[in-house]
Amino acid sequence: MAFSFQLQQIFPSPVKFCSQPKSINLQIFPNLTKRLPIHPLASAQNNATSNIDHNYIAMDESSINEEEVPLPTELRRELMPKHIAVIMDGNRRWAKKRGLPVALGYAAGIRTLRSFVKLSYNWGISALTLFAFSSENWFRPKAEVDLLMGLFDKVLKDELENLTRTGIRLSIIGDASQLPKSLQDLIDKAVMATKANSRLHILVAINYSGQYDVVQACQTIAQRVKDGNIEPEDINSFLVEQELQTKCTEFPSPDLLIRTSGELRLSNFLLWQLAYTELFFSHSQWPDFGEAEFLEALCSFQQRQRRYGGQSS
């Protein structure tokens, strides 16, 4: 079935984008529901986007195949990662480099994400964890945070039906208690509506901190000790893993982490879960991370020997 992403009103007023015919879409970015106030930055973005060619951010129509799709000849199916984590970095720098408003950087990043999800779906990836908004991102300018909040809210509303139809399960990791109540309700609805889906599991990390994830797991285990349910000697790595927020997926530890934009750090993302994950750092900014770059990351992964501390064969 065909999926296209509708950018019309993806950012709440006053930021404008080109209009796309309404059709079945696919896009992942839940959370946060504040309406954008009228702000000088928003007005500047609106003026800038009015001069952008419609094709610049338009979505092409492509298919998500419900049957198994042949892999590129460079890849071997038995060596494909089951779980990929992604730090989608470089949207703002991509826009600034081109003299565009930040909003268009995020719009281009959405287009890349749609393509990335489609490829992951067609190539048999079981789980994706997407770092959409860290707990430190609250310190960014209010206008940008509000823009992201509106984006998360709008896309989640628009795409819920399509996620359900295609068998994609959506989960949220992070501290949702700091999000607006209306958005928390929307997240709960999306999580419940897709809970039984199994073709692809997408975990979106919003207001997420890898350090806090470990802390809250330790707090839960400490309470169980205090209540007399377990002994301190019972605590091991398996028990800790069962209390991390990624326990919702069949494969809680990613096989491969991809970070774009040339940054060589983890930025407080899945610190426990990435203990034996293969890391791939791309110099491409996220809006430029296409099929060729994804294929490069997968080929690199398949050429590595995963020893988990043991000897090479």
H or E stretch at 231: none
Tokens 């690199």 sit on residue: 300
What is the spatial distance between Cα 69 and Cα 259, in angstroms, rounded to a whole number?
26
| φ and ψ at residue 45, rounded to 5 degrees | -65, -40
168-173/278-281 β-pairing: unpaired
| Nearest CA among 8, 39, 40 for reference residue 25 | 8
Confirm if 89 and 261 have CB atoms less than 8 A apart: yes
2-3/62-63 β-pairing: antiparallel
Tokens 């970070």 sit on residue: 259
What is the spatial distance between Cα 245 and Cα 248, in angstroms, rounded to a whole number?
7
200-208/256-259 β-pairing: unpaired
Distances (CA, A) of 84 to 117, 129, 147, 195, 251: 11, 6, 27, 20, 10
| CB-based burial, 102-126: b 16+ in 10 Å, e otherwise | bbbbbbbbbbbbbbbbbbbbbbbbb
What is the spatial distance between Cα 93 and Cα 173, in angstroms, rounded to a whole number?
26
CA-CA-CA-CA torsion sign (275, 279, 285, 290): negative
Query: Catalytic residues, which ones?
Result: 89
Q: Alpha helix (H) ranges present in the chain?
A: 40-49, 91-97, 102-122, 142-166, 181-194, 210-226, 237-243, 291-302
SS3 call for 248? helix
